[in-house]
Amino acid sequence: MKVRRRRGLGAIIATSALAAGLLASTATSATAQNSIPGVDEISHSRNMSQVAHLPKQPPFDTQAAFGTDIAFTDNHAIVGNYDGFVIYDINKPHKPRIVSQVLCPGGQNDVSVSGDLLFLSTDYARTNDSCVSEPSTSADPNSWEGIKVFDISDLANPEYVASVRTDCGSHTHTMVPDRKRGSVLLYVSSYSPAEDLPNCQPPHDKISIVEVPVKHPERAAVVATPVLFPDGGNPGGENPDGTRRSATTGCHDLTAYPQKNLMAGACMGDGVLFDLSDKLNPRIIDQVQDNVNFAFWHSATFNNAGTKVIYTDELGGGGLPTCNATFGSKRGADGIYDIRGRGDNRSLEFRSYFKIPRHQAETENCVAHNGSLIPVKGRDIMVQSWYQGGVSVWDFTDSANPKEIGYWERGPLSDTERVIGGTWSAYYYNGYIYSSDIQKGLDVLAIRDWRTAPAKWVRYDEFNAQTQPRYGR
């Protein structure tokens, strides 16, 4: 984890200290609220089950080798890891197998895929852009962070073909095809600048757009750095309960809906809706803040109609036990926003919060994290990771009254100490739910429910959760 910038799970440093008073002020045990599974014990709703599990394999089997995000191509799942990435063959979901593993440390190593190209985000300072680099310090002007590009035409032997340095590194990125230019655009999210960081200077109210020519990926380069927050965005501050909300110094996640020319930004202190008609110049349509309950705007998901956005609040950066009576049902939760109006008059209207209804142990890091739609025409259903809170499937067709319809979870990694773990990303792909567990590896889950049954017939050759496809007509 970084010390100089709060990134992902590294964000616990400041927040945990501020939340310590809250944790200490209550003697309420989550066990008193519901039955918490024992260490590594599996609990699930009747309509969900595990159909396969493949543990992390060497060299990615250490506690520090966190499993991260997932991208899908041609019935293969590509799972990022702080130490590289793993390609799984999921043609037989009940029997996934590893096709290849690439050792290339760089945290978080979030992934996306387009055709024969794989993109990898490096957000930890390294001595250089190679896969044999060593950890460095961001105060070193020669340190490297940014985007790596791999050719995966041979999935068993990925080839590293290009790298692009970006200001403040690349915490996450969002892939958007640009067929007119014959290229792929990567919208790079990064944040938390500081005066002593030569490659990450404040105010950093921007994103970096990297263009990768499909036929010549070795020519990848930064082609634009649009400033999104000329007024500085949310200045941050203290929420009513005493915890801190983040100032906006960039974005954490951007989710594009290319067929709607829309993009949603989860930008630390702000939730943003963008017009993406001019791909090199995203234009803000509306911008909202929640200075009561949200601490860190983390990610975003559109519904299929493009009339709603789900924003997540990663309170504590993924390192705190926030699924308990102390934090309640509105902190570390999802915020559901309807998109009202048309064109430039569109606005984000808050409707409700959603949080898993099961309390977790005080040793379990739990908060809203990555998920995707389950493609059911006429309904808005999402599958989502909650770290050690497990995988939740929930319906937000009625924006004001969301409800969980299924879940699957493991008990804590430990009942005596807090060990960072749980599901980082859970996505629906071609009939099954795939979960990347930070410590445990790959889980394949099934949901058997009348509300999700139509999704079984939806098939994708390629799927990136942050590049939302449209399904149905």
pLDDT tens digits for range 50-73: 999 999 999 999 999 999 999 999
User: What mean pLDDT value characterizes the chain?
Assistant: 92
Q: Give the model's pLDDT for residue 242.
A: 81
pLDDT of residue 27: 29
d(CA 473, CA 383): 22
The confidence score (pLDDT) of residue 15 equals 39
pLDDT of residue 428: 98
Average of pLDDT values for 238-248? 88
pLDDT digit string (tens) for 305-344? Answer: 999 999 999 999 999 999 999 999 999 999 999 999 999 9
pLDDT given at position 30: 35
What CATH code would you report for 8-463?
Answer: 2.130.10.10
What is the structure's pLDDT at 11? 42
How deeply is 460 buried, as exposed, middle or buried, from its count of CB atoms within 10 A (0-12, 13-18, 19+)? Answer: middle
DSSP 191: B
pLDDT, residue 472, reads: 83
What is the per-residue pLDDT across 245-286, written as a single tens digit (0 to 9) for each? 999 999 999 999 999 999 999 999 999 999 999 999 999 999
pLDDT confidence bin for 239, thresholds 50/70/90: confident
| Residue spans per domain, the chain | 8-463
**What is the tens place of the pLDDT at every residue in 415-452?**
999 999 999 999 999 999 999 999 999 999 999 999 99
In the prediction, which pLDDT does 22 show? 38
Determine phi and psi for 343, rounding to 5 degrees.
55, -135
Looking at this protein, which amino acid is placed at residue 240? P
Q: Regarding beta strands 297-302 and 283-288, do their DSSP bridges make them parallel or antiparallel, or are they unpaired? A: unpaired
The torsion of the CA quartet 75, 158, 116, 94, rounded to 10 degrees, works out to 0
Q: How confident is the model at residue 367 (pLDDT cuts 50, 70, 90)?
A: very high
| Among 6-10, 265-269, 356-360, the least confident range | 6-10
pLDDT of residue 17: 34
State the pLDDT at residue 410.
Answer: 97
pLDDT at residue 473, rounded to an integer: 63
Q: What is the mean pLDDT of residues 154-172?
A: 98
Question: Could you give the C-alpha distances from 21 to 102, 184, 242, 373, in angstroms and in order?
Answer: 42, 47, 9, 36
- What is the number of residues in the chain? 473
